[in-house]
Amino acid sequence: MRRWIENVFHLGLKELASLSRDVVMVVLIVYVFTAAVYSEATAMKTDLSNAGVAIVDADRSTLSSRIKDALQPPYFRTPREIDRSELDQLLDKGQYTFVLEIPPRLEADLLANRGPSIQINVDATAVTQAAVGTAYIQEIIMRETTSFLKQRGANSAVPIDPVIRALFNSNLETLRFTASMGVINNVTILAIILVGAAVMRERERGTIEHLLVMPVLPSEILAAKIWANGLVILLAAGFSLHVVVQFVLQVPIVGSVELFLGGTVIYLFAAASLGILLATIANSMPQFALLSIPVFILMFLLSGSFTPFESMPVFLQDIMYLSPSTHFVRFAQSVLYRGAGLDVVWSDFAIMGALGAGFLVSALSRFRAMLARQS
């Protein structure tokens, strides 16, 4: 066992030396954990910002003025009053995302308890902003109407006063989510690419034959590639969380970064084993790249990092439980966003470890077969 550990250690040092000479790969690692995380967090926004809004005010009452004044930056641009005849043309040209139609006698009908309505016309081609913005406008109209009625002593017209409390992200800022998710997704990409590319590089450069004449086992070769490349990714992820996410982007991390990095070690084992498995299936670097693309897409889109996992069909959820990225995303969100401890996420640790062991056994079997063909 001691001999096995020594061989794995020295082979890992060889991997680190080989990686350090690969300038393109080193630049890629630096980029994805610095500039890529920053640009993804700041550029990809799902919350409402600077939306164009116009108002057709046929009432011109105190209430309609209050609604207009409540639509303020940074969520909305300053509302512009338009004529009803301009509405369709402005929406067709995409000049405004929202157009409110305030009917005549809105305030009078409201005070008389006649149940008036305000029409909100929405350009839903920008679907995310349209959905979020519509909810914002409805909330603003409800808030201003409630306040107006209370000032007029008509409290009976609004018997319910809802209070909303948002946990873990009180201001509903997209940045808090996308910054950490950028680090998490990049861990997946590099874990598969680095280890898989290391195997393909050995084959294409012919250095695999050098390993065949050395007194080393296939398991030692794979273990060395996993720990060496995994260590580089782990250090880069820790740097990105502390420097880019916390210091540069000023995004607070609620939970333990150390616990997150501990879970990342287990996930790196699983993802790196998957990368080796893909490398043993491909016969060249281009084939490995093409094979990795659909794997990345499935792991990103269906793991819960972009869309809620619970929103997917049940049969698809059952399939994605076999992906380590699903458990990694769930674990990472619990730790980084909700401050969960080991007592909450231990099951994800165990599942990621079990899946990694399965991938490693399959990869080791195919790797031995590949070495036998090479010899």
> Beta partners for 229?
none
For the chain, which residues make up each domain, given as ranges?
A: 2-44+173-374, 53-157
Q: Give the burial class of 164: count Cβ atoms within 10 A of its Cβ; 0-12 exposed, 13-18 middle, 19 or more buried.
A: exposed
What does the DSSP 8-state code read for residue 251?
-
Give 248-264 pLDDT, tens digit per residue.
988 888 888 899 999 99
And the tokens for 269? Answer: 């084992």
Buried b (16+ CB within 10 A) or exposed e, 212-245: eeeebebebbbbbbbbbbbebbbebbbebbeebb
The partner residues of 50 in beta bridges, in order of sequence, read none
3-state secondary structure of 100: strand
Helix axes 127-151, 62-70, angle to 10 degrees: 140
pLDDT of amino acid 374: 63
Query: What per-residue string of b and e applies to 86-98 under the rule 16 or more CB within 10 Å gives b?
Result: ebeebbeeeebbb
d(CA 173, CA 339) in angstroms, rounded, equals 18
The yes/no answer on whether domain 53-157 falls in CATH 3.40.50.720 is no
Residues forming a β-bridge with 122: 98
pLDDT (tens, 9 = 90+) of the chain, 375 residues, equals: 888 888 888 888 888 888 888 888 899 899 999 988 888 888 766 677 788 899 999 988 898 899 999 998 888 888 999 988 888 888 888 888 899 999 998 888 888 888 888 999 988 887 777 888 888 898 899 888 888 888 877 654 554 555 667 777 777 777 788 888 889 889 998 999 888 888 888 777 767 666 666 777 878 888 888 999 999 999 999 999 999 999 998 888 888 889 999 999 999 999 999 999 998 888 888 888 888 888 888 888 888 877 778 878 888 888 999 999 999 999 998 898 888 889 889 999 999 999 999 999 998 888 888 777 765
> In terms of Cα–Cα distance, which of 8, 12, 15 is closest to 201?
15
Q: Full-prediction pTM beyond 0.85?
A: no
In eight-state DSSP terms, residue 76 is B
Per residue in 328-349, pLDDT (tens digit) is 999 998 898 888 889 889 999 9
Residue 363 to residue 375: CA distance in whole angstroms: 18
Print the SS3 string covering 158-169. CCCCCCCCCCCC
Contact in structure between 172 and 166 (CB atoms under 8 Å): yes
